[in-house]
């Protein structure tokens, strides 16, 4: 009789054959399901089919194969006289080792244009049941869910079997693996509800009544925002990280925070766009036909603040753009791809953090911790108010086509600037940004100070309405010629009168874009 019995049912078959051969050499008997059994048999490994043990064939196209008392009884039986006698009465033999990895649900839904039906078919049922059963009975059963553990487990069985500590460590891994798997499934299906792919009655509650989120530590930072604070990056369980660090020092807490602002800002534009972020706000953001030209315009917006900033782009970063960056000191550069020559040029800078976007797109909800709970809201990705054709022209003088194009650009930038947000734009590039001021007129003056003479003939966007005409009057002194804002103030008439008296153009969007 075999020294131990192992059940193997794996989707990822890397390292499978060598592992099974080592188990057989250690005296093990292998039982395997469908594709796993065929893989082993083709390699000459002695193997029993699951149906040889259960006496029942796979049914429903493979949906049911291991869900059977002959399998789960052998896994869940405690090694007591009562349980063992009960197994014997039903001609069931105990199982000592369960090796399972699950259908690739996360990898499937990460592919573009995957249908819900295809995703649902990749939800593993039997595999999860096997892992949980074996992990529950880790007092007697060894469970393996990661091929990285094959060598360690094979060596343990070759030396007489696994110890209690190792079995418990592996059981914890299995429970975490199934928890991450279930979380990924729930998150995906919840996203479908949010996106309107579910029946109307299922999506009537826009925000879920309950949220179950599992976070997994990706990185511990040296500290948080300040050296006396601890900090770290956590990712959603079951999802790969959004970025791969290709080069440079380890990312800090503040690097990650500013990268989020830079990345989301750059990706919000259709044309080649460069965003340079400093302390959570754009100090330069521009679009152009060529990425290199967009960088030149973004850098010119505020060259002083760009020093030590975070740069993100929405196109593969090419050599021409890398050459434009030149010797500017940046903390982080992020792109969806890099030309080889551009990457090589950046890698000459020893400490520059070079990041490649490899992970999921922006989630539909934003979460923020507060005292006693978490605030949840939709991510601000509205598109209707981004169309100038839907705006209301409230001034006597309409904006020119060039002004309207710049107003549309400025309005989109404004939602990426901390409130009170004021953005000066010329030729689809920021020339001055006023952010985070308690008074809107102070933001107007700050943007004008940053822009200097470049504000002459520029346009202005405000993330919320002007409560008084003083903000418009201050902008006019800086040479602003056209304004876009939500409107809705009780003093709109006074503000419009000031616009007309100063000879400006102004549009109302009807939407606000606070960002705190």
Instruction: Give the residue numbers annotated as catalytic, written as ranges.
Output: 136, 279
Distance separating alpha carbons of residues 428 and 246, to the nearest angstrom: 31
Distance separating alpha carbons of residues 216 and 420, to the nearest angstrom: 35
Bridge partners for 216 per DSSP: 235
Distance separating alpha carbons of residues 78 and 134, to the nearest angstrom: 11
Distance separating alpha carbons of residues 205 and 36, to the nearest angstrom: 43
In this structure, the number of other CB atoms found within 10 A of the CB of residue 334 comes to 23
Distance separating alpha carbons of residues 134 and 167, to the nearest angstrom: 10
Q: Three-state SS for 215?
A: strand
**CB distance 10 to 36 below 8 Å:** yes
284 alpha carbon, distance to own chain's centre: 24
Q: Which two tokens stand for residue 483?
A: 């304004």
**Dihedrals φ, ψ of 91, to 5°?**
55, 40
In this structure, the number of other CB atoms found within 10 A of the CB of residue 264 comes to 18
**CB distance 460 to 422 below 8 Å:** yes
Max CA separation in the chain (angstroms): 99
CA distances from 481 to 435, 474, 478, 502, 505 (A): 20, 12, 9, 9, 7
**CB distance 496 to 503 below 8 Å:** no
CA distances from 338 to 84, 126, 175, 322 (A): 61, 42, 38, 10
Pinpoint the alpha helices (H) of 110-211: 116-121, 126-136, 150-158, 164-194
The region that residue 15 occupies, defined by phi over 0 for left and psi between -120 and 50 for alpha, beta otherwise, is: left
**CB distance 261 to 280 below 8 Å:** yes
In this structure, the number of other CB atoms found within 10 A of the CB of residue 164 comes to 10
Distance separating alpha carbons of residues 218 and 485, to the nearest angstrom: 40
Burial 434-457 (b: 16+ CB within 10 A, else e): bbbbeebbbbbbbbbebbeebbeb
What DSSP character marks residue 277? Answer: E
Q: Name the one residue in this structure whose structure tokens are 């002194």.
A: 477
Q: What is the C-alpha R_g of the chain?
A: 30
Q: Name the one residue in this structure whose structure tokens are 């091929």.
A: 147
């Amino acid at each position: 009789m075999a020294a131990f019995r192992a059940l193997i049912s794996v989707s990822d078959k890397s390292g499978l054959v060598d592992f099974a051969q080592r188990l057989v050499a250690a005296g093990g008997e292998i039982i395997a399901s469908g594709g796993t059994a065929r893989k082993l048999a083709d390699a000459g490994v002695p193997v029993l089919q699951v149906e040889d043990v259960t006496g029942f064939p796979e049914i429903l196209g493979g949906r049911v194969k291991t869900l059977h008392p002959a399998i789960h009884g052998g896994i869940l039986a405690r090694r007591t006289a009562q349980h063992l006698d009960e197994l014997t009465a039903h001609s069931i033999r105990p199982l000592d080792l369960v090796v399972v990895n699950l259908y690739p649900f996360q990898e499937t839904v990460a592919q573009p244009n995957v249908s819900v039906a295809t995703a649902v078919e990749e939800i593993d049922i039997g595999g999860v049941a096997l892992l949980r059963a074996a992990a529950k009975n880790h007092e007697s059963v060894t469970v393996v869910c990661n091929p990285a553990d094959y060598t360690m487990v094979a060596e343990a069985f070759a030396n007489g079997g696994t110890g209690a500590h190792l079995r418990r460590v592996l059981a914890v891994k299995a429970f975490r693996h199934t928890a991450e798997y279930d979380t990924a499934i729930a998150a995906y299906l919840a996203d479908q509800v949010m996106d309107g792919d579910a029946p109307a009655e299922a999506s009537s509650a826009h925000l879920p009544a309950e949220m179950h989120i599992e976070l997994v530590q990706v990185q511990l930072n040296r500290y948080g925002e300040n050296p006396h604070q601890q900090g770290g990056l956590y990712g959603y369980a079951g999802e790969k990280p959004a970025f791969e660090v290709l080069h440079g020092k380890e990312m800090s807490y503040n690097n990650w925070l500013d990268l989020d602002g830079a990345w989301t800002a750059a990706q919000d534009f259709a044309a080649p766009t460069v965003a340079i972020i400093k302390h959570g706000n754009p100090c330069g953001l521009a679009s152009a036909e060529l990425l290199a030209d967009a960088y030149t315009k973004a850098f010119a917006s505020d060259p002083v603040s760009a020093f030590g900033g975070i740069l993100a782009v929405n196109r593969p970063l090419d050599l021409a753009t890398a050459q434009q960056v030149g010797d500017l000191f940046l903390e982080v550069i992020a792109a969806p791809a890099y030309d080889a020559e551009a990457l090589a040029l950046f890698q000459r800078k020893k400490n520059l953090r070079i990041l490649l976007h490899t992970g999921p797109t922006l989630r539909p909800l934003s979460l923020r911790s507060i005292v006693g709970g978490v605030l949840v809201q939709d991510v601000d990705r509205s598109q209707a108010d981004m169309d100038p054709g839907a705006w209301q022209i409230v001034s006597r003088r309409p904006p020119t086509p060039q002004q309207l194009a710049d107003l549309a650009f400025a309005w989109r930038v404004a939602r990426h600037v901390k409130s009170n947000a004021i953005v000066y734009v010329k030729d689809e590039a920021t020339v001055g940004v006023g952010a985070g001021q308690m008074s809107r007129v102070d933001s107007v003056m700050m943007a004008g100070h940053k822009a200097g003479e470049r504000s002459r003939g520029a346009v202005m966007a405000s993330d919320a309405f002007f409560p008084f005409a003083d903000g418009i009057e201050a902008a006019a002194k800086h040479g602003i010629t056209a304004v876009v804002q939500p409107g809705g103030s009780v003093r709109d008439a006074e503000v419009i009168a000031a616009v007309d008296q100063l000879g400006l153009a102004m549009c109302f969007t009807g939407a606000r874009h606070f960002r705190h």
